[in-house]
Chains A and B, each alone.
Chain A
């Protein structure tokens, strides 16, 4: 039994990682007042860049850098549309999603001619699992051994990075000057403006960070979890990350738990695939896939109370004529 539990939890960590990066990315953007429905697209663009560059250079780190670069570029397009030109943030985000979905396949086909995929990566061109110190020596200690050796150890560096990013994000948002201003600009940009701080520059920095984190998420998908980019491989994770963000009420530690929960549901869905539950029979896998969304609606409606977004999110900042 412990084996199965550890298997599911281990899988949970892997599946939560891209959600967590994307969720924290969204947190920076939305805390600054920029609604980002384009997490999905940035992730996908990043994944493609990572797959392509890791293949060409045979180096996962360069793949990661490329993912960050492309994702930040997409974030800057979003920023240019919604900060500089005060466009509709949702529309701009949707455009980013379409752009990434189309462009990745187009370029993939043009460059690699494998139906939009990037070529299969060798083991050492990807981020490979890391064995934590002493994992092997304590493997046989009951209970603690398997938890340490099989659950916590043996993930690639990006998984650990995602979980390190949580306290880091908390610290940046709640303990630094940048974080204070970030929180303020999402609530009341006019207060920030009258305090002598540039609203636009602050929001640009937020979307750049958002882009970078989406780059991590994309790189994880293409060159850590899989061995190359596949068409539409983000598969709605950007949207689940948004749901997790709302669920987490835009707070970093909550975001981690929300992403773990959604990752767990995903892991269970994988496990239950094709298996039948006694007395119920085979449950369609779609049911488990829909669970995160159902859960979000149900929990938001009744259990965790109202999730109030940053007050100014979605509203372009225009100095008001008084």
Chain B
């Protein structure tokens, strides 16, 4: 979508009633990462305004600026018609902004009352404040249907109630504008429904609500207005009633230049990877992968599409032996593996699986290690690299040098720390390591995230080569174009489920709908 079109809708929004918040030209960079680029936003008073975008689109940064957690490099914040500076959270609270963070800002061993009063004690002694909090919370609970045991220890409450404490905290401080950052990520559907009921009541009472999410269904359900962010930019603003899930999905994912990839039709053979009945929970105990079964044949690329956060990460982690699954088994090159048991990634590696993880900084590389050391991570026990005690350093350097040539990794310096390479070159280091060990099954997550165009083409070519060499490739990407140009079959994940399978010729529209959770049956 183009920017010019959207300025029009921004203007349109601003003419509607009074604006509770207006942002003008907000910019924020973290080192080389431009997290927010020239953001304009108008939020109408007494409305529920959704902000959608993928993880890393800059939503959380923008909200942190609004709440004084970060300060913007440039730009103006206008609250209720007055330009304000928000250098810290204290000021944000003073101008009437409250925030419910994605990771709750609660003190676990404290009671509900103590948590609510923290920072708003109303005097040097606690006794008076405690009485006031009790009274006020009683009133809020009645008014907004938010009952809670005031003396419960917060750490022992279920997450839904913890979130309620966060909301009560903000309301107790007199917030008129409530920002909720991914509030439903940890909630059950029933809890989420209750939350939305509360939000509607709050809106009807005149509060303004900013709802940050990447779940389109929630946007359609509860918001009045929606703005879309992509790669640090505000790309569109719509009235919820006048847009659709598929339009929003398209705006979120973006339509970058479709990279042409030359490839012959796949010639799939036997399945090298079969996964049956996989269920995976994340660290917080939320089920993120639900009953997924799939198979990847030799000589084909299976693409997993989906808006990020719909279970793809957990799927990869379970298949690569990083996390344990609740249920499920896997057949890897003829070996049956029970995924509910603890495994080590190196066991799977020995059976012929290699893995290019989604997050190369956290899982693919050790940033403080030099390139040659990174080039053998996970393979360091192999005979050609070590004799069990000592590393064969000169041999490793030699091989690393060859790979740098072969994969055009720049600069050609095996001693350079991984952190010093650009994103594309870092990815090539990981890719070289995982491809050169000649696996039968290759798992690849987000191969081109934060990678420049030139490197993208190269990486795509390599992935196709792997396929043509008769390997089974499982590709997880949130870039729809990447999936469409590489995959021979496409599975779409939504909320942990595989909601549909399509061929490589599926249209963007079709996939976008699936990614938004509109399944085949519902679409008809």
Give A contacts to B, CB under 8 Å: 175-181, 183-184, 187-188, 190-197, 311, 319, 321-322
Flag whether B126 is at the interface (Cβ < 8 A).
yes
Whether A196 contacts B125 in the complex (CB less than 8 A), given A184-B110, A188-B107, A191-B106, comes out as no
B439–chain A nearest beta-carbon distance, Å:
34
Most buried by A among B67, B90, B169: B90
In chain A, what residue has the closest Cβ to B98? A194
B134 within 8 A of A: no
**A184 engages B118 (CB within 8 Å):** yes
Shortest CB-to-CB span from A70 to chain B, Å, is 29
Residues of A within 8 A of B108 (CB): 187-188, 311
A196 with B119: CB separation less than 8 A: yes
If A188-B107, A191-B118 touch, whether A196 touches B88 (CB-CB below 8 Å) is yes
Nearest CB in chain B: distance from A195 CB, A: 3
Are A192's CB and B125's CB within 8 A?
no
Chain A residues near B61 (CB-CB < 8 A): 322
A-B complex: 5 closest residue pairs judged by Cβ atoms: A195-B119, A196-B90, A191-B105, A177-B121, A194-B105
**B371 partner residues in chain A, CB cutoff 8 A:** none
Residues of B88-145 whose CB lies within 8 A of A: 88-93, 99, 101-102, 105-110, 114-115, 117-121, 123-127, 129
CA–CA, A196 and B169, complex, Å:
12
Least distance between A28 CB and chain B CB atoms (Å): 17
Report yes or no: B121 in contact with A188, Cβ–Cβ below 8 A. Answer: no
Q: Is the CB of A322 within 8 A of B64?
A: yes
Contacts of A187 in B (CB 8 A): 107-110
- Is B60 an interface residue when CB atoms closer than 8 A count as contact? yes
Residue-wise, chain B 214-240 has the 8 Å CB interface mask toward A (1 for contact) of 000000000000000000000000000
Q: B41-69 vs A: 1/0 string, CB under 8 Å?
A: 00000000000000000001100100101
22 A-B pairs with CB atoms under 8 Å apart are A175-B125, A176-B124, A181-B118, A184-B107, A184-B118, A187-B109, A187-B110, A188-B105, A188-B106, A188-B107, A188-B108, A192-B118, A192-B119, A193-B89, A194-B69, A194-B101, A195-B169, A196-B89, A196-B92, A197-B90, A322-B60, A322-B61
Please name all residues of chain B whose beta carbon is closer than 8 Å to the beta carbon of A195 when the two chains form the complex: 89, 93, 105, 118-120, 169
User: Chain A: which residue is nearest B90 at the CB level?
Assistant: A196
A196 and B106 CA atoms in complex are apart in Å by 13
Q: Give the complex CA separation of A180 and B119 in angstroms.
A: 9
A45 CB, nearest partner CB in chain B, Å: 31
**Would you call B67 and A194 a contact (CB within 8 A)?**
yes
CB distance from A171 to the nearest CB of B (A): 10
CA distance A302 to B61 in the complex (A): 47
Complex contact B124–A178 (CB within 8 A) = yes
Min CB distance A312 to B, Å, is: 10
Question: How far, in angstroms, from A195 to B127 measured CA to CA in the complex?
Answer: 19
Docked Cα-Cα span, A183 to B110, in Å, equals 9
* A311–B106 CA distance with the chains assembled, in angstroms: 12
B-side contacts of A176, CB under 8 Å: 124-126
Instruction: Decide yes or no: A319 and B127 within 8 Å by CB, A195-B119, A196-B88, A197-B119 being known contacts.
Output: no
Which single member of B90, B92, B101, B126 contacts A180 (CB below 8 Å)?
B126
A175-B126, A177-B121 known; A194 vs B99 contact (CB < 8 Å): yes
Q: Given the complex of chains A and B, what is the CA–CA distance between A176 and B30 in angstroms?
A: 39
B133-172 residues with Cβ-Cβ distance < 8 A to A are: 169
Q: Which residues of A contact B70 (CB under 8 A)?
A: 319
Give the residues in chain A near B169, CB-CB below 8 Å.
Answer: 195
Closest to B70 in A: A319
Separation in Å of the A227 CB from the closest CB of chain B? 41
Contacts of A177 in B (CB 8 A): 121, 123-126, 129
Please judge, given known A-B contacts A184-B118, A195-B89, whether A175 and B127 are in contact too, CB under 8 Å. Answer: yes
Q: Which residues of A contact B88 (CB under 8 A)?
A: 196
CB distance from A212 to the nearest CB of B (A): 19
Residue of B nearest to A179 (CB): B126
Q: B69: which A residues are within 8 A, CB to CB?
A: 193-194, 319
**Docked CA distance A184–B105 (Å):** 11
A178-B125 Cα distance, complex, nearest whole Å: 8
Residues of chain A with a CB closer than 8 A to B115's CB: 191
A190 to chain B, nearest CB (A): 6
Contact A180 B67 (CB under 8 A): no
> How far apart sit A180 and B129, CA to CA, in the bound complex (Å)?
12
- Which partner residue on chain A sits nearest B181 by CB separation? A322
Q: In the assembly, what is the distance between CA of A322 and CA of B64, in Å?
A: 9
Looking at the complex, which one of B30, B106, B123 makes contact with A321 (CB distance below 8 Å)?
B30
Q: Which residues of B contact A193 (CB under 8 A)?
A: 69, 89
Q: Which residues of A contact B92 (CB under 8 A)?
A: 196
CB-defined contacts of A178 to chain B, threshold 8 Å: 124
Residues of B contacting A179 in the complex (Cβ-Cβ under 8 angstroms)? 126
CB-defined contacts of A196 to chain B, threshold 8 Å = 88-93, 119
Instruction: Determine the chain A residues whose CB is within 8 A of the CB of B93 once the complex forms.
Output: 195-196
A260 to chain B, nearest CB (A): 26
Cα A176 to Cα B129 with chains together (Å):
10
C-alpha spacing A195/B125, complex, angstroms = 18
Determine the chain B residues whose CB is within 8 A of the CB of A192 once the complex forms: 118-119
In the bound complex, how far is the Cα of B67 from the Cα of A191, in angstroms?
13
Give B108's nearest chain A residue, CB to CB.
A187
Nearest-neighbour CB distance to chain B for A257, whole angstroms, equals: 21
CB neighbours (8 Å) of B121 from chain A are: 177, 180
Looking at the assembled complex, report how far the CB atom of A226 sits from the nearest CB atom of chain B, in whole angstroms: 39
Enumerate B446-487 residues with CB–CB distance to A below 8 Å: none
**Distance A78 CA – B117 CA, assembled complex (angstroms):** 30
Separation of A183 and B121 alpha carbons in the complex (Å): 14
Q: How far is the CA of A194 from the CA of B93 in the complex (A)?
A: 9
Chain B nearest CB from A80 CB (Å) reads: 22
* B residues in contact with A184, CB < 8 Å: 107, 110, 114, 118
Interface string of B399-440 (1 = CB under 8 A from A): 000000000000000000000000000000000000000000
Nearest A residue to B123 by beta-carbon distance? A177
A162 to B107, CA, bound (A): 30
Task: Evaluate contact between A183 and B125: CB separation under 8 angstroms.
Answer: no
Shortest distance between the CB of B201 and any CB in chain A (Å)? 24
Residue from B109, B118, B129, B169 having most chain A Cβ neighbours under 10 A: B118
Residue in A188, A192, A197, A319 with the greatest tally of chain B CB atoms within 10 Å? A188
> Which residue among B67, B110, B117, B127 has the maximum number of chain A CB atoms within 10 Å of its CB?
B110
Check if A183 sits within 8 Å of B107, measured CB to CB: yes
- Which residues from A are CB-within-8-Å of B67? 194
| Docked-complex contact A180 and B60, CB < 8 angstroms | no
Give the residue name and chain of the A residue nearest to B124 (CB): A177
List 8 additional A-B contacts (Cβ < 8 Å) besides A177-B129, A184-B110, A196-B119: A177-B125, A183-B107, A188-B108, A194-B67, A196-B93, A311-B108, A322-B61, A322-B64
Please, how many angstroms separate the alpha-carbon atoms of A187 and B108 in the complex? 8
A179 to B114, CA, bound (A): 11
A-chain residues with CB within 8 Å of residue B90 when the two chains form the complex: 196-197
Chain B residues within an 8 Å CB radius of A181: 118-119
A183 to chain B, nearest CB (A): 7
